[in-house]
Amino acid sequence: MVGPIGPSGPRGDLAYLRPPPGLVAPLIAYPIVFYPSGIEVQELGPTGIELPNSLGRRIMDLTRIQAVRVQWAHNLANQPITLQLQYHDQQFNVWLPLTGVSGTLVPAFQTQASEWVATPRFLATAVTVRAMVFGPIGVTPKITYITMDGQ
């Protein structure tokens, strides 16, 4: 049995399946780390660890960014090293995922990229973003670069 139709809500945002080139937002690259010889990350594990001395943190204005992904590379061949970007929620004082955990077994120094994901709707104008590295205990990768792409 179906009841009466309720009041209509606010109109949603428009979306295009194949937008014309003039409507596609430009790609903005936010460099987080670029160190060709690599930044050594010790004590990896399933809970993840930040780059030393908070080198993987940046404060960014993401209010006009609709989608993000992370690109990165490390120096180890065929190791299950993964990476995730997180942002700090100031209201609840917690770190939340900005991208999914990404990474596969790749040759040394090969670029990896996460899937594009939508940004949370109501981010502050100054959001702290950090990179978390995950991997097997006892493995010590060197992260050569991390870039967050936004559209």
Q: What pLDDT shows up at residue 17?
A: 62
Per-residue pLDDT tens for 59-84?
999 888 889 999 999 999 999 999 99
Q: Which domain holds residue 132?
A: 25-150
Does residue 39 sit within a domain? yes
Q: How confident is the model at residue 108 (pLDDT cuts 50, 70, 90)?
A: very high
Q: How confident is the model at residue 5 (pLDDT cuts 50, 70, 90)?
A: confident
| CATH code, 66 | 2.60.120.260
In the chain, the percentage of residues whose pLDDT exceeds 70 is 90
Q: How confident is the model at residue 94 (pLDDT cuts 50, 70, 90)?
A: very high
Global pTM reads: 0.82
Does residue 20 sit within a domain? no
Q: What pLDDT shows up at residue 122?
A: 81
* Mean pLDDT, residues 35-46 taken together: 94
Q: What pLDDT shows up at residue 123?
A: 82
Please state the domain count of the chain.
1
Does residue 99 sit within a domain? yes
Does residue 77 sit within a domain? yes
Q: What pLDDT shows up at residue 2?
A: 77
Is residue 33 pLDDT above 80, yes or no?
Answer: yes
Does residue 17 sit within a domain? no
Does residue 93 sit within a domain? yes
3-state secondary structure the chain: CCCCCCCCCCCCCCCCCCCCHHHCCCCEEEEEEEEEEEEECCCCCCCCEECHHHCCEEEECCCCCCEEEEEEEECCCCCCCEEEEEEEECCCCEEEECCCCECCCCCCCCCEECCCEECCCCCCCCEEEEEEEECCCCCCCEEEEEEEEEC
Does residue 15 sit within a domain? no
Does residue 128 sit within a domain? yes
